[in-house]
């Protein structure tokens, strides 16, 4: 005789999630490449400090330009913000074109927006030329008005982008609903955007540079620096020194601790990725979505058929309550998603949080800070961090040659 027992979980008892804070990309990819820590003194022309997506791109640009480069990171490669990002590659800056124009003038604002379009094409070419497997896909971008008022200013935004031929069209609420199944009050549809797995891209690029001869040291924290007129000496936590002509700081959000100038406000943002194959991941396969709400909701699909949703920023991050905060944020993200896409079928697989930053004009800080001699910084904060880091490849190379770059005045320190 066979007895079958069914254990029915009480409706109010939720499954205990044992794991949680790991970003999806880290779990999905694992540690792709590992490098030695620095256990000797060293001399080189340029040190790129930071092995995230910014350090990966900038060191690649420097090698291409013929420089001798050593890359150093205190963690394993890509384990900073690069593993937490949602990696939407947009030309659209967190500051709308109309608002940016009020701050820096129309010529500058248009130049910064167009640089974003160029950056997305540049990264597409780079990924194709080096044959990097990193889930890169060209997509469109949909900027939704979240209410009636927002639709008014978003139309004005559309007119200005259209005047400058940024490849945009205006969709009515009805068209957005019929095409994407999303509720809105109208939207700008832009034809240039992309998404990528930035963690994989950073590893792929850095490994490519390693094979070309770049020295890479991970698990090597720089704890002290001496910036002089004739160069820079970096001290590692293990007591070794690295002498170089220039340091390029690609140290992400932690850089705010190095600088007296207040360049960004930092806060916490949250992201959640669904299980594979949910219904709405198919309808949003070719488009990045974000809205005009504050904080804004953003979403994209992954190349393995998931929906990735982010937003719900918070200025506080009490370490002791991280788990509870993250769970509350996930519930809010889910309810905002339900408002936009009623039949979304979202089932959470991973959720995590990460530091995010906003500058006063949505633009990055790329260039020299008067606080450090013989150093250049590449700090692309905000929702376009990666697009700005792509632009930095050219800007840093030009600066090292002593050439003026068109964008440097908009991205300079002390502005």
> Which stretches of the chain bind ligand FAD, using CB under 6 A?
49-55, 72-75, 79-82, 84-88, 221-222, 250-252, 254, 269, 271, 310, 354-356, 380, 383-387
Please give the Cα distance from 281 to 171 (Å, whole number).
Answer: 21
Please give the Cα distance from 315 to 266 (Å, whole number).
Answer: 8
Phi, psi of 217 (to 5 degrees): -125, 120
Q: Which residues pair with 268 in a beta bridge?
A: 314, 355
Q: Which residues pair with 90 in a beta bridge?
A: 193
Nearer to ligand FAD, 67 or 326 (CB): 326
Minimum distance of ligand FAD from residue 149's CB (angstroms): 25
Nearer to ligand FAD, 50 or 362 (CB): 50
Please report which helix (H) or strand (E) contains residue 172, including its range.
Answer: none
Minimum distance of ligand FAD from residue 8's CB (angstroms): 37
354-385 burial by CB neighbour count: b if 16+ within 10 A, else e? bbbbbbebbbbbbbbbeebbebbbbbbbbbbb
Minimum distance of ligand FAD from residue 2's CB (angstroms): 50
Minimum distance of ligand FAD from residue 414's CB (angstroms): 21
Nearer to ligand FAD, 219 or 373 (CB): 219
Minimum distance of ligand FAD from residue 354's CB (angstroms): 3
Distance of CA 410 to the CA centre of its chain: 20
Instruction: For residue 40, count other CB atoms closer than 10 A to its CB.
Output: 10
Nearer to ligand FAD, 81 or 391 (CB): 81
Token reading at 249: 């700081």
Nearer to ligand FAD, 122 or 355 (CB): 355
Nearer to ligand FAD, 266 or 398 (CB): 266
3-state secondary structure of 52: coil
Minimum distance of ligand FAD from residue 79's CB (angstroms): 6
Token reading at 100: 């940016």
Q: Is the preceding omega at residue 257 within 30 degrees of 0, hence cis?
A: no
Nearer to ligand FAD, 127 or 222 (CB): 222
Please give the Cα distance from 171 to 29 (Å, whole number).
Answer: 37
Angle among Cα 203, 199, 37 to the nearest 5 degrees reads 50
Please give the Cα distance from 268 to 11 (Å, whole number).
Answer: 32
Token reading at 278: 């949910």
Minimum distance of ligand FAD from residue 307's CB (angstroms): 14
Nearer to ligand FAD, 180 or 298 (CB): 298
Nearer to ligand FAD, 50 or 186 (CB): 50
Please give the Cα distance from 22 to 15 (Å, whole number).
Answer: 18
Please give the Cα distance from 298 to 260 (Å, whole number).
Answer: 32
Please give the Cα distance from 262 to 249 (Å, whole number).
Answer: 16
Minimum distance of ligand FAD from residue 288's CB (angstroms): 8
Helices 106-129, 385-400: crossing angle, 10 deg rounding: 90
Minimum distance of ligand FAD from residue 350's CB (angstroms): 12
From the list 308, 305, 312, the residue with the least C-alpha distance to 289 is: 308
Minimum distance of ligand FAD from residue 386's CB (angstroms): 3
Please give the Cα distance from 78 to 117 (Å, whole number).
Answer: 25
Angle among Cα 158, 161, 164 to the nearest 5 degrees reads 145
Which residue's Cβ has the minimum distance to ligand FAD?
Answer: 385
Minimum distance of ligand FAD from residue 74's CB (angstroms): 4
From the list 241, 262, 228, the residue with the least C-alpha distance to 375 is: 228
Nearer to ligand FAD, 85 or 344 (CB): 85
Nearer to ligand FAD, 186 or 354 (CB): 354
């Amino acid at each position: 005789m066979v007895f079958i027992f069914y254990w029915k979980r009480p409706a109010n008892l939720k499954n205990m999630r044992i794991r949680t804070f790991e970003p999806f990309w880290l779990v999905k990819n694992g540690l792709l490449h590992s490098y030695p820590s620095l256990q000797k003194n060293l001399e080189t022309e340029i040190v790129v400090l930071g092995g995230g997506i910014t350090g990966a791109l900038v060191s690649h640009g420097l090698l291409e330009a013929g420089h001798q480069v050593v890359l150093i990171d205190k963690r394993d490669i890509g384990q900073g913000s690069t593993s937490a990002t949602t990696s939407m590659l947009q030309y659209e800056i967190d500051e709308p074109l109309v608002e940016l124009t009020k701050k820096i003038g129309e010529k500058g604002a248009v130049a910064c927006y167009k640089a974003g379009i160029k950056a997305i094409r540049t990264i597409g070419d780079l990924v194709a030329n080096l044959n990097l497997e990193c889930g890169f896909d060209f997509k469109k971008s949909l900027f939704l008005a979240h209410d009636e008022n927002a639709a008014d200013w978003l139309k004005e935004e559309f007119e200005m982008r259209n005047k400058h031929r940024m490849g945009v069209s205006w969709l009515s609420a009805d068209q957005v609903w019929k095409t994407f199944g999303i509720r809105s009050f109208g939207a700008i549809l832009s034809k240039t955007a992309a998404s990528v797995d930035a963690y994989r891209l950073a590893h792929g690029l850095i490994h490519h540079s390693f094979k070309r001869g770049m020295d890479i040291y991970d698990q090597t924290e720089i704890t002290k620096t001496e910036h002089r007129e004739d160069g820079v000496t970096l001290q590692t936590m293990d007591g070794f020194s690295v002498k170089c002509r220039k340091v390029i700081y690609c140290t992400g959000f932690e850089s705010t601790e190095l600088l007296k100038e207040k360049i960004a406000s930092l806060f916490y943002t949250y992201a959640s990725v669904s299980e594979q194959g949910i219904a709405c991941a198919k309808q949003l396969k070719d488009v990045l979505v974000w809205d005009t709400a504050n904080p804004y909701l953003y979403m994209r699909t992954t190349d393995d058929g998931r929906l990735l949703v982010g937003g719900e920023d918070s200025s506080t991050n009490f370490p002791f309550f991280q788990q509870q905060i993250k769970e509350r944020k996930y519930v809010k993200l889910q309810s905002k998603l339900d408002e936009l896409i009623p039949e979304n079928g979202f089932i959470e697989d991973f959720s995590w949080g990460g530091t995010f930053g906003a500058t006063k004009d949505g633009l990055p800080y790329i260039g020299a800070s008067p606080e450090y001699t013989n150093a250049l910084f590449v700090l692309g904060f905000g929702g376009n961090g990666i697009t700005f880091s792509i632009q930095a490849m050219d800007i840093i190379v030009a600066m090292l040659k002593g050439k003026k770059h068109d964008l440097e005045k908009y991205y300079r320190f002390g502005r």
